[in-house]
Structure 1
């Protein structure tokens, strides 16, 4: 008989107590997924996975250890707790380890308002295959497409439950639905490929297979006859498809773990301008139907809306309990907790202030430069912010797209890039990172 997850976490906590732990938290996750790949109109691969994972973290004084398993038998749970306590007794003391205090724990939340779980039935493998086949056919129908590398459809369901020995217990369900297509245009050494995809929590929100396939094909054709750009200093417009990576670097730099280690180019920038004064970066973990939404974090603390950057000024770090204690600050409800390890800080949904100009307006006004639509590899120095990445996209001249670009490197410093960037107004509101296309007025390009 399938055990409820709250019963499993309760058994883990009781076992930890019997084994001699002073405190503990436990997480249990039940997940299932099905994915289908098609090629040339036929099923290429289908996979289904199901399972339950459990994790236990124990405290013996200021010593801590974590263990996990995929077997939920009573014997395994007892052995897990005994092993975890034995490990903790041998671990070095951590003065910052410990559970949240009772007054810090989340008390009430409205999980229904977040709409994280699709009430519709799980799609059949046949339905997923039909979706992927339709996407592939739409890509093939685009003039100039020579083949479709892959078309895939996915569905996932997960229920997670977290409990602590000092009274917290909570869980929620979520679903995921995805569809993607990778198209190839041209032949031989002149082949180029590109993709389109969509991922949503609720199946009815997913874009149509025909739209995804057609856009993947059109993007691949647009990349034909690509050339290297000239070497020099030029404006670079990061397309909305890739612009969130810039904000990702900022989020990594304000992560409490990086700050506590002293390994961040923003470590001394609290209260200072890190973005243009017109821009703010807001975190909102309570947006409905959004992948980064959570009613509470991985340590049982309530999640809350907060300003990370307001009017260009950095207001705070992203903190779990341990890093907040290291820095002498208050946790922000941003702990993520896998079953196999302890918590660490992570951001939820974020949104950057949009501009008034469209992407087309920025292209028109940038004169000559690079529109980046894809990037590969990276060399980022987290201490200094020095930035270098391989890029591909399109060359802009006299405010017009002239030809495709590949095999180039863009370089700069994130401190300067973030302070100077100009946003468009084309962000997609359903994403966890709502970030528009971003123009950086001056970067170094290395090409021909």
Structure 2
């Protein structure tokens, strides 16, 4: 029996157990995955890890009460015990007005998971090959003049098979793979050490860039941060480098998530149909981009995924919804449900793209005059109700339109409502990322430094 058939049978067996235990409805998910990771440091193998396992999850519904259970024991006795325990839990759970499976008419019936090319057909790499890649990345980082040491490099590979089934008749699954290489370099000594990194990941190993290039960039970034000092305090333009610009758009995605909206705990709760980005900018979701990690043919409730506009020409078009949040808000699901084995579905976006600008990042640096180029962020204080924003950052101070010196220990503050309406995008988004967001220039943020 194939792995896919095994997962399909496990899901069917869980549903049968739930029906015997008295569930009104149920859905089940079975996941089999494996990962292999090799880490090196100072030219030698530091550790090698491989894991493989199967996990099953069951959600049962009694009216509008629901409960979830999961296990890694696949015996029939355990599955029956899971179902009985879940039914008992559901009977004691509070009613959830949004709980329930999709109507059969809503289910995905015509999709082609293979067309998304999420699974690499190449054989699983052997540990020696991954070790060579990691060593190559580390050696390249150490070869950069000014790099004093390596904090290590890694190469990894993994795959995940998933099958979802429900008592409404849905039953389907697909495979996803991933390969990655990363390196961490340190420049300087003692209290003047600076740490930087670079990493790349792809669904297909053949699409990865050369390991040496990854290591070289990590080393160059570490050296560039030597002599970092605090930035000036005041109101200045801030350019979010493409490395971290998606975090800014991520705050908008969180604020427009159906879970936040249904709870009334979002600064964007009254902005539907209002301008949230500058005119001319759109934020689109496309779950069907081939070879992109965020793609999926159907969501975690069996609904067919589809492209949609989250923001069109600056105006917010809608929320990110699963069935439960859609029902609570009197709307339709956007087929955005995601879930693991131990929790019910919740809304989540797949691949998003922000309209690119016409200028390069260097053009925006020249235009900003004096301000901050942010390349790394740490910590986060975001008020979900007001959008007040404060984050620690490091990067480079810009004077007269040119990078002057590296800076760290900076706090950036503003309000997300205002910030997002003042962004100017560059044209440097990377196409292989699930979140295609270019560098973003934001005027008039408050910086706290020296």
TM-score by length of structure 1 reads 0.99
Can you give the 5+ residue segments of structure 2 that lack an aligned partner in the other structure? none
Structure 2 matches for 1:235-314, cutoff 5 A? Answer: 235-314=237-316
- Quote the Cα distance in structure 1 between the aligned partners of 2:167 and 2:146: 61
The alpha-carbon deviation at position 111 of structure 1 amounts to 1.1
Moved over 4 A (4+): none
Task: Report the secondary structure of 1:240's partner residue.
Answer: coil
Aligned to 1:119: 121
Aligned to 1:29: 31
Aligned to 1:428: 430
Structure 2 matches for 1:89-238, cutoff 5 A? Answer: 89-238=91-240
- Cα distance per residue 1:392-428 (max 9 Å; x no partner): 0000001110100001101000001100000000000
- Quote the Cα distance in structure 2 between the aligned partners of 1:120 and 1:251: 35
The alpha-carbon deviation at position 95 of structure 1 amounts to 2.1
Aligned to 2:399: 397
- Quote the Cα distance in structure 2 between the aligned partners of 1:63 and 1:227: 56
Task: Report the secondary structure of 1:122's partner residue.
Answer: coil
- Cα distance per residue 1:157-206 (max 9 Å; x no partner): 10000000010001000101011100000111110010000010000011
Pairing partner for 1:381 from 379, 383, 388: 383
- Quote the Cα distance in structure 1 between the aligned partners of 2:395 and 2:356: 22
Task: Report the secondary structure of 2:199's partner residue.
Answer: strand
Aligned to 2:420: 418
- Quote the Cα distance in structure 1 between the aligned partners of 2:65 and 2:387: 35
- Quote the Cα distance in structure 2 between the aligned partners of 1:64 and 1:112: 33
Pairing partner for 1:326 from 315, 325, 328: 328
The alpha-carbon deviation at position 82 of structure 1 amounts to 0.7
Task: Report the secondary structure of 1:170's partner residue.
Answer: strand
- Quote the Cα distance in structure 1 between the aligned partners of 2:266 and 2:100: 25
Task: Report the secondary structure of 2:421's partner residue.
Answer: helix
- Quote the Cα distance in structure 1 between the aligned partners of 2:394 and 2:92: 51
Task: Report the secondary structure of 1:4's partner residue.
Answer: helix
Task: Report the secondary structure of 2:389's partner residue.
Answer: strand
Task: Report the secondary structure of 2:56's partner residue.
Answer: strand
Kindly report the root-mean-square deviation, in angstroms, between the aligned alpha carbons of the 2 structures: 0.8
Q: How many residues align?
A: 448
- Quote the Cα distance in structure 2 between the aligned partners of 1:90 and 1:275: 45
Task: Report the secondary structure of 2:393's partner residue.
Answer: strand
Structure 2 matches for 1:351-362, cutoff 5 A? Answer: 351-362=353-364
Aligned to 1:83: 85
Aligned to 1:364: 366
- Cα distance per residue 1:133-171 (max 9 Å; x no partner): 000000000000000101011100100000000100010
- Quote the Cα distance in structure 1 between the aligned partners of 2:83 and 2:404: 64
Task: Report the secondary structure of 2:271's partner residue.
Answer: coil
Tell me if 1:349 matches 2:351: yes
Can you give the 5+ residue segments of structure 1 that lack an aligned partner in the other structure? none
- Quote the Cα distance in structure 2 between the aligned partners of 1:150 and 1:379: 30
Task: Report the secondary structure of 1:258's partner residue.
Answer: helix
- Quote the Cα distance in structure 2 between the aligned partners of 1:418 and 1:47: 42
- Quote the Cα distance in structure 1 between the aligned partners of 2:32 and 2:376: 35
Task: Report the secondary structure of 1:196's partner residue.
Answer: strand
- Quote the Cα distance in structure 2 between the aligned partners of 1:142 and 1:103: 59
